[in-house]
Amino acid sequence: EKKPIRIAVTGAAGQIGYALLFRIAKGDITGTNQPIILQLLEIPSSQQALKGVVMELEDCAFPLLSDIIVTDDPSVAFQDANMVIMVGARPRSKGMERKDLLLANAEIFKIQGSALNQCVARDAKILVVGNPANTNALIAMTSAPDLDRNNFSAMIRLDHNRALSILAKKIGSPISQISQLIVWGNHSPTMYADYRFALNSDQPLAYNLQDENWNTEVFIPTVAQRGTAIIEARGVSSAASAANAIIDHMRDWVMGSNGRWVSMALPSDGSYGVPEGIFFGVPAICENGVIKRVANLEINEFSKRKLQSSVDELMGERKLILSML
Ligand code: NAI
């Protein structure tokens, strides 16, 4: 009997949680041979709703799900966790300024980061999803100085998947044929979807797509505005596709990306002109549980400007929460 792996999820009673937990329990991250203990964190006012979710998890009779821990205490939720998926965050309420939102979340991720520092398995893989994800990840990482920085990431995979799907449709090629796509930067409208290096069945894709206008007027803004388009259509923000992206991000990290490039927001190592420390979407390859950035890609003038606008935004966010670090 294999030892269960502990997967902590925060904000577990929210809409992403509802689309995520069942897939985790099914084995979509860790495979069909790995028992799982779910460690679910919610605030007191959402405990009732979480009870219902737990009942439904039980009612699925998932063979891999060996236990479910439910708590409103981060240090219980994170105890010995091997993976931590931080979805819970303070949403923007009416009349709330961007700065207030940043600070409210900084508070949450500071507390939870300290709990991570004390409680998680020393090699735990941590993904921040709750927005503003990149800056929340910076706070969590900074509040957990005993953990390896390389165990922290923020999510830009949903944007990567959106870009992939739009590109496949445009050139009329199956998604599985397209590789080496990148989404750089902040998970915000400044993100930069970049197909300059993309391949379509191992042929440079940009050759079939010389339409600069489509790139700048359609592709880049459509990827960047997709989240807003979904809110407009559904009345609530993307949840199932966000949960799917979480699964993709964590599965590739744990099981390997098989040589494929995936976009992950990682603490910058200073490459590509991105100041060290801030979380920035970059292309990466995962192997044996280790994330390796794809290095030394050429950055032309246009790309440089695009990257810079995410850098400026993230440095601005960092400045606002700096006093809390
Ligand atoms: P939701 O509002 O349905 O659920 C959030 C849950 O977090 C709620 O149940 C709430 O009680 C809980 N929560 C709030 N503060 C908490 C705390 N301190 N500790 C633990 N739990 C807490 O929101 P939804 O749709 O599930 O989205 C969650 C977050 O993910 C949002 O911040 C959203 O903006 C973000 N998001 C990020 C994406 C990305 O690509 N990085 C994509 C989609 C959403």
Which H helix or E strand runs over 243? helix 240-255
Which pLDDT score, from 0 to 100, does residue 275 have?
97
- Type of residue at 285: I
- Share the mean pLDDT of the chain: 96
Distance (Å, rounded) from C-alpha 155 to C-alpha 125? 13
Amino acid 46: pLDDT? 98
Backbone CA torsion sign across 119, 247, 27, 230 = positive
Is 187 part of the annotated catalytic residue set? Answer: yes
- Between CA 192 and CA 169 the distance in angstroms is 19
Cβ 15 under 6 angstroms from ligand 1: yes
Nearest to 67 by CA among 58, 79, 77: 58
Alpha-carbon span 297 to 203, nearest angstrom: 17
Q: What is the pLDDT of residue 294?
A: 98
pLDDT of residue 288: 96
**Cα gap 80→189, rounded to integer Å:** 36
3-state secondary structure (DSSP) of residue 252: helix
Q: Ligand 1 centroid vs 13 CA: distance in angstroms?
A: 9
How is 14-32 classified by DSSP, letter by letter? SHHHHHHHHHHHHTTTT-T
- pLDDT-derived band of residue 325, with 50, 70 and 90 as boundaries? confident
Q: What confidence score (pLDDT) does residue 91 get?
A: 85
Bridge partner residues of 293 (DSSP): 284
Model confidence at 228, in pLDDT bands (50, 70, 90)?
Answer: very high
- Reported pTM: 0.98
Distance 279 CA to ligand 1 centre (A): 19
Q: Work out the average pLDDT over 70-98.
A: 93
CA–CA separation, 254 and 263 (whole Å) = 15
Question: Which pairing describes strands 36-41 and 5-10: parallel, antiparallel, or unpaired?
Answer: parallel
Write down the ipTM of this complex. Answer: 0.99
pLDDT at 93 over 90: no
Q: Whose CA is nearest to atom 12 of ligand 1?
A: 11
Per-residue model confidence (pLDDT) at position 292:
98
Give the number of the atom of ligand 1 that is nearest the alpha carbon of residue 88. Answer: 7
Output the pLDDT for position 95: 79
Distance CA 273, CA 255 (A): 30
For the stretch 132-179, pLDDT in tens is 999 999 999 999 999 999 999 999 999 999 999 999 999 999 999 999
Of 4-18, 23-37, 204-218, which gets the smallest average pLDDT?
204-218
Give the model's pLDDT for residue 211: 80
> How many CB atoms neighbour CB 234 within 10 A?
10
Contacts of 169 (CB under 8 A, 6+ apart): none
pLDDT at 209: 80
Residue 64, ligand 1, Cβ within 6 A:
no
Q: Give pLDDT tens digits for 18-45.
A: 999 999 999 999 999 999 999 999 999 9
The pLDDT of residue 303 is: 97
Helix %, strand %, coil % of the chain (to 5): 50, 20, 35
